[in-house]
A and B are shown apart, each in its own frame.
Chain A
Amino acid sequence: MKGNGDRNPYIPYPVRIEKITVENSDRDLKTFKLVFVNKEDEESFEYLPGQFGELSVFGRGESPVGIASSPTEEGYLLFTVKRVGVVTSELHNSEEGRIIGVRGPLGKPYPLDVMEGKNILIVGGGFAFTTLRSTIRYLLAPEKRGRFEKITAIYGARSPGELLYKDELQEWQSHDGIDMVVTVDKGDGTWTGREGFVPTVLKQVAPSSENAIALVCGPPIMLKFTFPVLLELGFSPEMIVVSLEMRMKCGIGKCGRCNIGSIYVCKDGPVFTYQQLQSLPAEY
């Protein structure tokens, strides 16, 4: 076989669940820190922000999940998983130490080469913030930070308890390298931060589109109202980058499930420009 050596793309790498972190007050979002059982597997799992993996619980099945860690964090992978179906429920019921599988990295990453030398705007909503967390970690890594200009991130969730990566959000809010704006749809008694939907806050913050590229990931309703604001701010459709969600199985463009128009979300995406998205049937 060419490409990935003689490796069978359907066989997962064994990984051990090193740590499980409950992320939200609803307790249906957990971050799994995974460590490769075999060192050589870790070396062949070379990924970039925006890519995903197929998490595998033997006997239950596989589930495609965006990689939340950054390749600049060595020695482990992070996946933040929402409990929704058979595989994710089984993952949520797991104890630390359990061996599961991961296939990947799959899909195309955020366009780091295009992003180089530009101002970066990151817009995230809800639990779709995972690959954007990977991106922020990557951009802020001391050895990478100099390749990018001003970094602005706007992240919102339904309520304070639903925000992911709370410690890091705090850290980034006082970080010189990034302008981090956090908002919630509705605050609670203890919330002193910003309130408001992500598109509204984006309009208020109004980052310049000059030499800038926007990375957007969030629920469909957020995307729907975010695109017009970005266009209004002067971002061209090819400078708006979005990551799509789709039901997937093989992850390598064979099983046909994530097909939209002539593309397959798993191999041609999940990262697309808004321009590409506009040329696709709205079947996502």
Chain B
Amino acid sequence: MPETVNTKVLDKQRSRELIRAIIARGFRLYGPVLDETEVKLGEIVEPKELNLGFQNFEMSPKEFFLPQSEVLCRFCREELVPNALAEEEKNVLLGIRPCDARAIWLMDKVFLHEPEDFYYRQKRENTVVLSAACTSPESTCFCTSVGSSPAGTEGADVILFDLGESILLEPVTSNSEQFLNQFSGLTREASKEEIAQRKGIAEDAASRIKKIPLEGIAERFAKAFDSGLWHGPSLRCLGCGICTYFCPTCHCFDVTDETLKGNGQRLRTWDSCMYSLFTLHASGHNPRPTQKERVRQRFMHKFSYSVENHGELFCVGCGRCIKHCPVNLDLREVIAP
């Protein structure tokens, strides 16, 4: 990152003021909220001291752009009811980790690709993403193996670095300087020392993450399609789909209608390629009849097909699927050469 970037510094004592100022500018602010033991993405309505010291959000913030359940249209009996125009709500997403920001950048490749997804685009355009560099990676993290890093900037407008007593704000996208300028009264220019400190933080966190050599994995998996590689994992897999729900890049969905007394709505809801119903034809034919094909699909989609279609792995190394799998299926063991 060239040092000419207009990097700012905010003293932590003033973080309450920044939060107040963001809200006062008409943004809805979403950030880390401690809920008993979990850190959740929640709306921040009261100014508070900004705490970036947590490891990561329990759930990935994908639900912000692709809610678990979302209305596509409403109808009354046989007639479509015009969609109420979504309020031009401006949002700030604060403190999400670079791995999760990268996941948004990856989802953009699907949802902002022609024909653009109307609902996704609306939220994406009205949201400023302020990510926060990761300082304490977990044992399940492997972001540096899949193209991400503790200070990666894909998907973020501004990236924040926790310098201890202060927070460094580094603009990423061209719009972000304009955003930061609105709060220039609260920040000051970063010093050379602070920028050096930022580098140290990024390098230190990265050095603590184990690397898996994944060069050429797309080709390796393409060749392994009919191999025994999927046998072991699929025998253990319960098909519960939790990996896909926690995954920040899994985006498959179902579309269903529900009605109550003639009024109804069409919803899209997260779905999972781990379920047999996902591909079951009405005729009874199922192109992916056993868990072996389904497990293989998840791996092939993320590590081979996506590379062919988008030039990127659809995994950001957040490790949530590893942490939450009820049978301890460790994705790293499957993808390692």
Residues of A within 8 A of B (CB): 1-4, 8-12, 14, 58-62, 84-85, 88, 98-101, 220, 245-247, 249-250, 252-257, 259-262, 281, 283-284
Contacts and interface: CB of A to CB of B under 8 A. Distances in A.
A9 B116 CA distance: 8
Contacts of A245: 281
A255 B75 contact: no
B74 to A, nearest CB: 9
Contact of B110 (A10, A254, A257, A262): A254
Contact of A11 (B80, B257, B259, B273): B80
B294 to A, nearest CB: 10
Given A10-B72, A281-B225, A256 B253 contact: yes
B305 A261 contact: yes
B113 interface: yes
User: Which secondary structure dominates chain B's binding surface?
Assistant: mixed
30 contacts: A2-B114, A3-B114, A8-B118, A10-B266, A11-B72, A11-B83, A58-B80, A59-B257, A61-B255, A61-B256, A61-B266, A98-B78, A99-B78, A101-B80, A245-B281, A246-B279, A250-B255, A253-B110, A254-B110, A254-B117, A254-B251, A255-B271, A256-B252, A256-B271, A256-B301, A257-B279, A262-B308, A281-B225, A283-B279, A283-B293
B149 to A, nearest CB: 27
Nearest to B251: A256
Given A99-B78, A101-B80, A256-B273, 17 more contacts: A1-B116, A1-B121, A9-B117, A11-B73, A58-B78, A59-B75, A59-B259, A61-B255, A61-B257, A220-B285, A249-B254, A253-B113, A254-B251, A255-B255, A255-B268, A259-B297, A284-B287
B269 to A, nearest CB: 10
B115 A84 contact: no
Given A11-B83, A262-B308, A283-B293, A252 B115 contact: yes
Contacts of A99: 78-79
With a 10 A CB-CB cut-off, give which of B73, B115, B251, B293 has the most chain A CB atoms.
B115
B262 to A, nearest CB: 8
Interface of B: 72-73, 75, 77-80, 83, 110-111, 113-119, 121, 225, 251-257, 259, 264, 266, 268, 271, 273, 278-283, 285, 287-288, 293, 297, 300-301, 304-305, 308-309
Given A8-B83, A8-B118, A284-B287, A60 B257 contact: yes
Contacts of A247: 278-282
Nearest to B273: A256
A172 B156 CA distance: 61
Contacts of B297: 259, 283
Q: When A and B form their complex, which 5 residue pairs have the shortest distance between CB atoms, in order from nearest?
A: A256-B252, A84-B282, A8-B118, A58-B75, A262-B308
Contacts of B119: 10
A282 to B, nearest CB: 8
Contacts of A61: 255-257, 266
A88 to B, nearest CB: 7
B287 A4 contact: no
A1 B111 CA distance: 12
B255 A249 contact: yes
Nearest to B263: A59
A10 B301 contact: no
Contacts of A8: 83, 118
Contacts of B73: 10-12
B252 A255 contact: yes
Contact of A262 (B80, B116, B257, B309): B309
B261 to A, nearest CB: 11
A256 B297 CA distance: 11
Given A10-B118, A58-B257, A255-B254, A85 B282 contact: yes
Contacts of A220: 285
A260 B308 CA distance: 13
Contacts of B309: 262
A85 B305 CA distance: 31
Contacts of B117: 9, 252, 254
A254 B79 contact: no
A3 to B, nearest CB: 5
B115 A4 contact: yes
Contacts of A60: 257
Given A61-B256, A61-B257, A257 B111 contact: no
A58 to B, nearest CB: 4
B111 A254 contact: yes
B257 A84 contact: no
Contacts of A1: 115-116, 118, 121
Contacts of B79: 14, 58, 99
B287 A246 contact: yes
A49 B80 CA distance: 28
Nearest to B114: A3
Contact of B255 (A59, A62, A246, A261): A62
Contacts of A62: 255, 266
Nearest to A268: B309
B252 A58 contact: no
